[in-house]
Amino acid sequence: MKALSRRSILLLPLSAWASSHFWDKDDPSTWTADEITQLTTKSPWAKEATAELKSNDSNMAGAAPRAAGRGRRGGGSAGAASPGLPKFQSIVRWASAKPIREALKLKFPESLAGHYVISVSGLPIISPGDTGDRADDDSFATIKDQTALLLKRGEPIQPGVAYQDPNDTSTIYFGFLPQLANVADAKTAIFTMSTGPLEVKVKFNLEEMKYRGELAV
């Protein structure tokens, strides 16, 4: 068989490299601990993010900053972070994606059924109380107002559900209705969340979020 030239290799479509990922080749039951760590921290579905305290005095006192961007309920971005203030490392995951669910063996509550679910882990989140599994519980109304998903050039979409992991209070799950988040026509998705004086922002490349040849969200 004729060997590929260096130029030919560089021009190979992205899909030609997809099979090199262990999650596309190996059965989930055989994934190693290191592979699961990679998939759930540094992969198309998981991003490391640094959250910083804002220098605004009112934010430091615990007031929620305004939402990033102008969404369905308005708001603007919070003030610039000060380099002298503490930083918090967090992981943002597209938790409803099949490879993440299989790696972490996630089981969502009924309130998140039928949603795209994005989780944020590692931040000091103060629980507003025992939310249980009630879909109509509005204890997280403020944090939902400060959370958004931006696709293409549309308005930011706010989550309808926020659920704090009862076994890990530093993890919170946000549910977005697929009817509002049309991922099929988007190339990227930008997720932002503010909790008190902290703000997190990450970008997902939807074109890379392929699992066994299909978009996994």
Taking all residues of the chain, what is their mean pLDDT, rounded to a whole number? 78
Minimum mean pLDDT range among 20-29, 36-45, 137-146, 156-165? 137-146
- Integer Cα distance of 209 and 151 in angstroms: 15
pTM here is 0.75
Q: Where are the beta strands (DSSP E) in 54-207?
A: 87-93, 116-121, 147-151, 161-164, 171-176, 188-195, 198-205
Kindly list the domain boundaries of the chain, sorted by start residue: 19-215
List the one residue out of 111, 99, 103 whose CA is nearest residue 212: 99
Those residues whose C-beta lies under 8 Å from the C-beta of residue 119, and which sit 6 or more positions away, are 92, 93, 95, 171, 172, 173, 174
Token reading at 6: 């260096």
Looking only at the bridges linking them, the beta strands covering 171-176 and 116-121 are antiparallel
The number of residues making up the chain comes to 217
List the one residue out of 54, 36, 58, 31 whose CA is nearest residue 46: 36
* Residue 83: per-residue pLDDT: 56
Task: Determine the average pLDDT of the residues in 58-70.
Answer: 37
Structure confidence by residue, pLDDT tens digits, 174-194: 999 999 998 988 999 999 998
pLDDT over 60 (residue 42): yes
Token reading at 38: 């990679």
The answer to whether 97 and 209 are in contact (CB under 8 A) is yes
Q: How confident is residue 26, by pLDDT bands cut at 50, 70 and 90?
A: very high
CA angle 108, 71, 192 (to 5 degrees): 50
* Residue 128: per-residue pLDDT: 56
